[in-house]
């Protein structure tokens, strides 16, 4: 028969001589046998002398439940890990000799489990990055690791304890690079006394100095712009302790303002046409990044607006010239009609044409106006020839 129990519990070990018939039962003894093989009496019952409990590891914790030859079962209370072993109930009989039955007691211990990441500095040498332990368990626990990080190995050891339990420790080794910081890793502890494996979700803790970058520049820093900015980004573990903005020449231009890791340009002018430098520090070191800003003359929107305004002014000038030329031509035609029968009037018409030609010369400033005026003059000539 096999029994399993935990420390501090009480266990009942049954014993009974079934169908003795003509066999005479004279005494019953309980004998403990440790794994080493030594046999020790722990309890005796004699019908004449009664119960007795010799010195043993269970003395004061063992008792007979009924105290009779028919049922000499015993109880052992406040169990300890050292109580594990074989317990034999042995009858002294006459005339057949001794009869016995054995109960094997297996002591169990639920392990005390824990796991933690190990904080390390980034480097090229393989080191321990996580530890997992199942202490004082019986039977020994099994520890496994789960992670999507490649290149790691586990080293597991078992250490027997004086009380018969076993402590299992496992270390996970890895080459610590900065990109592996905060990556997930799990320790799983499986053991007979647990309903299911105990899972510890962990994150790798790898320390490194700041890696710095500058963001926010959009290649559109035109003069007069008021919403330009730069942001100094840093990837570091532990967290940055200081952020410092400078320019290539040393001091920052008066037109910029720094708030923590953000550099804001109040108004873009030639003074920000420079190289900005951001330096970030933590307890392990520092990192820098720089960016050269290029100031352009004006925004694309303002340039487009200026071109549209210029074209609008040209259009207004053309419209005025066209009106003037058209009015002149009608006046010229009217006079020509009134004097078409006499040469003197014709001469007057030549003068009028001459005046018209003068208007043509006056409006030569713009090509379109010139061509329009020129077409009016050609028409005028056709009218004159027809006359």
Q: Tell me: the pLDDT tens digits for 110-121?
A: 999 999 999 999
DSSP label at residue 179: G
Higher local confidence (pLDDT), 375 or 123 = 123
Question: Quick one: pLDDT band at residue 300, thresholds 50, 70, 90?
Answer: low
Burial per residue of 75-103, b for 16 or more beta-carbon CB atoms within 10 angstroms, e otherwise: ebeebebebbbebbbbbbbeeeeeeeeeb
Q: Is the pLDDT of residue 90 over 60?
A: yes
pLDDT given for residue 309 in this prediction: 44
pLDDT given for residue 332 in this prediction: 36
Q: Is the pLDDT of residue 350 over 50?
A: no
Question: Quick one: pLDDT band at residue 302, thresholds 50, 70, 90?
Answer: low
Q: What is the mean pLDDT of residues 23-48?
A: 90
Q: Is the pLDDT of residue 377 over 60?
A: no
Whole-model pTM? 0.66
| H runs (alpha helix) in the chain | 300-338, 343-362, 367-386
How many CB atoms are located within 10 Å of the residue 44 CB? 20
Distances (CA, A) of 269 to 87, 215, 224, 306: 96, 20, 7, 20
pLDDT given for residue 36 in this prediction: 72
Pairing of strands 206-215, 120-121: parallel
pLDDT given for residue 301 in this prediction: 55
pLDDT given for residue 376 in this prediction: 40
pLDDT given for residue 259 in this prediction: 94
- Return the H-helix or E-strand segment holding 174: strand 166-174
């Amino acid at each position: 028969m096999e029994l399993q129990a935990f420390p501090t519990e009480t266990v009942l070990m049954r014993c009974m001589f079934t169908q003795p018939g003509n066999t005479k039962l004279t005494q019953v003894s309980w004998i403990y046998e440790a794994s080493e093989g030594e046999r020790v009496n722990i309890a005796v019952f004699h019908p004449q002398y009664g119960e007795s409990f010799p010195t043993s590891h269970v003395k004061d914790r063992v008792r007979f439940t009924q105290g009779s030859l028919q049922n000499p079962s015993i109880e052992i209370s406040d169990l300890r890990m050292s109580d594990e072993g074989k317990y034999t109930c042995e009858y002294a009989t006459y005339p057949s000799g001794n009869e016995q039955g054995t109960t094997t007691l297996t002591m169990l211990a639920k392990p005390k489990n824990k796991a933690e990441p190990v904080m390390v500095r980034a480097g090229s040498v393989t080191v321990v990055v996580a530890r997992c332990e199942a202490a004082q368990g019986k039977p020994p626990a099994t520890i496994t690791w789960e992670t999507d990080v490649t290149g790691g190995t586990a080293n597991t050891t078992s250490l027997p304890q004086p009380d018969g339990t076993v402590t299992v420790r496992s270390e996970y080794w890895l080459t610590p690079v900065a990109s592996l910081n905060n990556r997930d890793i799990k320790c799983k502890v499986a053991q007979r006394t647990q309903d299911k494996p105990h899972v510890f979700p962990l994150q790798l803790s790898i320390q490194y100095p700041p890696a710095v970058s500058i963001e926010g520049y959009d290649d559109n820093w035109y003069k007069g712009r008021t919403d330009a900015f730069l942001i100094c980004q840093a990837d570091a573990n532990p967290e940055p302790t200081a952020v410092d903005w400078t320019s290539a020449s040393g001091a920052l231009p008066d037109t910029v303002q720094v708030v923590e890791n953000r550099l804001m340009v109040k108004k873009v002018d030639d003074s920000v046409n420079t190289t900005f430098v951001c330096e970030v520090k933590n307890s392990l070191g520092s990192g820098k990044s720089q960016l050269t800003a290029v100031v352009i003359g004006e925004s694309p929107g303002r340039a487009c607006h200026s071109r549209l305004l210029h074209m609008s002014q040209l259009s207004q000038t053309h419209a005025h010239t066209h009106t003037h030329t058209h009015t002149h031509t009608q006046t010229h035609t009217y006079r020509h009609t009134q004097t078409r029968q006499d040469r003197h009037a014709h001469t007057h018409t030549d003068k009028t044409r001459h005046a018209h030609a003068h208007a043509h010369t006056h409006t030569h400033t713009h090509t379109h106006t010139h061509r329009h005026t020129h077409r009016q003059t050609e028409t005028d000539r056709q009218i004159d020839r027809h006359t």
